[in-house]
Structure 1
Amino acid sequence: MIKKWSFLSLVVGLFAILAGCEPLLVLDPKGPQAETTANVIWISIATMAIVVAAVFGLMAYVVFKYRASKQSEDYEPPHIEGNPIIETIIVAIPVIIIIFLSIVTVKSTYEVEATPKGYEDQKPLIVYASSSDWKWHFSYPEENIETVNYLYIPTDRALEFRLYSYGPITSFWIPQLGGQKYAMSDMITTLHLAADVPGEYMGRNANFSGKGFAENIFHVKAMSPEEFDKWVEDVKANAEPLTEEKFDELLKPGHLGQLTFSGTHLGFLPPPEGHHHGSHETNDDEHGSEHAHAHEDVDTDHSGH
């Protein structure tokens, strides 16, 4: 009786704790890419739940139907050779499940790698997101501003993040907006996102990168396009310029708070020019010209200072 009540208390306590937990961020999407990912997770969970329910149901049926107490003491089960129907079923069902999940996975992968649905005809906001030990640098080349450890983005606009690293391999991840993608030192990887809902979201490095990994996070705020434009103008008017000497200090290992600068580091320390993984080939020339234009703007800005 004591064991029984202890077990019930444990179950009740566990449910009470789980009831107070916040929902999983990946299952609370705020953008089209994250919604696609969440749907795939739910489909996978439902598929696995059906399999588990079927297996436990069959197990309960077999245990009850063929329990020892039902048979006579001299009962000997018949010798049965392979049953073609049963063998076909136990092989075909897993194959069908694998094919189904493979189709869902491949289809969703192409969707999240492309420009979000509904934003195909819209010019994306390009942000270079670079990591260092243990901080994130966000460069807005068209706006000619840069932030550290926080990211402001407009809602209802396609976002194109170009990721790379000034240190070890890191992984850029905003769970409520989309899946994670690696940032490396010798190439640029491209991540397409969009935010449908204004709000504040958590972003982080999802790849272990040393002792400061746990605090390698950044704050994301999605706002209306009008608010975003106002913020950009405010930064341009009031933030101190980002110099090469200052950026060298920022690259030193350590943790920092949130910083804001006018100008970017792209002019004096451009990103790697190697393979752009995840970018659209048809836009490479356009991106290259935008990149060069951004460098000219930064050089002009610093020459003025």
Structure 2
Amino acid sequence: PLDVQVVALDWKWLFIYPEQGVATVNELALPVDRPVRFRISASSVMNSFYVPALAGQIYAMPAMETKLHAVLNTAGTYEGFSGNYSGAGFSTMRFRVKGLSEHDFAAWAEAARRAPVRLDRATYLKLERPSEREPVRHYAAVEQGLFDAVVNLCVEPGKMCMRDMMAIDARGGMGLAGIHNVRALEYDKFAGRGTVPFATTAQPMMVAATCVPMKPREQAEEAVKLTSLAPLKGFNLSRPGASSPLLTLAGNTTLSAPRRAS
């Protein structure tokens, strides 16, 4: 099968061809009668990868990978788009699909290799920024492992990959040695990703949370506390039943709804 890696961006589509070593924006070229194996992800919100002439739609989600197997049987030009609303530029988030013979597909890939730019991590981070009505463009080469870095939320320099974080968690965490990495693992789009260059930000690192394993006796004591039905009162909040909105839990337990931090 032909491998194609797909990334749904705001608001355009990125296609990476590992075998051919090229990438495109808003253009998907496929050889006719050759099985295609799509690996699909997204940079921010959920989208849906949909080419009606090719196969059913499947979701593209950040920090996840979905797969789609398909084959295009007739040469021609078709349309692809997102089938899931994703914000302001959604209505123009469309791409062209070209069904080519094997010979024409090889010629298309060779022409893409003559493009003036290559897709490295720095170029990807610029492309990732929200934009609309992006023209078709080709990249002559692709940095090794870029798609896996997109899926694992670690395209930016200095970011720990999600797979590494999960492996550390599976082994019980890093203990005190991990407190210096906690701030670096925030993947919000407004500070940790995109808006502020991670490697150049002057914001100091901070410890967001530290989890210390409890002994069995301490766990039992915590379980007793959690099953108490006594009303709870937060700092500077009204008691349950007063003017603050209430959140009713199972049984007779009530919790004052927290106020938004100023």
* TM norm structure 1: 0.48
The percent of aligned pairs where both chains have the same amino acid is 34
Q: Find out whether 1:156 has 2:33 as its counterpart.
A: yes
The whole-number CA distance in structure 2 between the counterparts of 1:271 and 1:167 is 10
Q: Find out whether 1:190 has 2:190 as its counterpart.
A: no
State the Cα distance separating 1:272 from its structure 2 match: 2.4
Amino acid across the alignment from 2:67 = T
The whole-number CA distance in structure 2 between the counterparts of 1:131 and 1:186 is 12
Q: Find out whether 1:272 has 2:151 as its counterpart.
A: yes
**1:207 paired residue number:** 84
Amino acid across the alignment from 2:151 = P
Residue number among 246, 253, 260 corresponding to 2:138 in the alignment: 260
State the Cα distance separating 1:239 from its structure 2 match: 4.0
**1:140 paired residue number:** 17
**1:50 paired residue number:** none
State the Cα distance separating 1:264 from its structure 2 match: 2.1
Taking the TM superposition and a 5 Å limit, the aligned residue runs for 1:72-111 are none
State the Cα distance separating 1:198 from its structure 2 match: 0.2
Taking the TM superposition and a 5 Å limit, the aligned residue runs for 1:22-101 are none
The whole-number CA distance in structure 2 between the counterparts of 1:146 and 1:254 is 18
Cα deviations by residue, 1:189-243 (Å, 9 ceiling, x for unpaired): 0001111100000000000000111001100000001100111112213442223
Structure 1 266/209 Cα, relative in aligned 2: closer, same or farther at 3 Å?
farther
8 Å CA contact retained: 1:154, 1:224: yes
* TM norm structure 2: 0.55
The whole-number CA distance in structure 2 between the counterparts of 1:213 and 1:266 is 29
**2:49 paired residue number:** 172
Amino acid across the alignment from 1:206 = G
State the Cα distance separating 1:127 from its structure 2 match: 0.3
Q: Find out whether 1:235 has 2:115 as its counterpart.
A: no
State the Cα distance separating 1:265 from its structure 2 match: 4.8
8 Å CA contact retained: 1:181, 1:189: yes
Alpha-carbon RMSD: 1.8
Structure 1 155/268 Cα, relative in aligned 2: closer, same or farther at 3 Å?
closer
Cα deviations by residue, 1:263-301 (Å, 9 ceiling, x for unpaired): 2255346242689xxxxxxxxxxxxxxxxxxxxxxxxxx
Q: Give ranges in structure 1 of 5+ residues lacking alignment.
A: 1-123, 276-305
The whole-number CA distance in structure 1 between the counterparts of 2:66 and 2:102 is 26
The whole-number CA distance in structure 2 between the counterparts of 1:202 and 1:266 is 29
Higher strand share: 2
**1:248 paired residue number:** 125
Cα deviations by residue, 1:94-118 (Å, 9 ceiling, x for unpaired): xxxxxxxxxxxxxxxxxxxxxxxxx
Amino acid across the alignment from 1:259 = R
Amino acid across the alignment from 2:145 = G
Structure whose CA Rg is larger? 1
SS in 2 for 1:207: coil
8 Å CA contact retained: 1:136, 1:148: yes
The whole-number CA distance in structure 2 between the counterparts of 1:250 and 1:228 is 25
SS in 2 for 1:226: helix
Structure 1 272/242 Cα, relative in aligned 2: closer, same or farther at 3 Å?
closer
**Which one is further off, 239-248 or 149-158?**
239-248
The whole-number CA distance in structure 2 between the counterparts of 1:182 and 1:265 is 25
Residue number among 191, 205, 221 corresponding to 2:98 in the alignment: 221
Amino acid across the alignment from 1:198 = A
8 Å CA contact retained: 1:165, 1:185: yes
8 Å CA contact retained: 1:149, 1:257: yes
Taking the TM superposition and a 5 Å limit, the aligned residue runs for 1:105-144 are 124-144=1-21
8 Å CA contact retained: 1:139, 1:265: no
The whole-number CA distance in structure 2 between the counterparts of 1:201 and 1:259 is 17
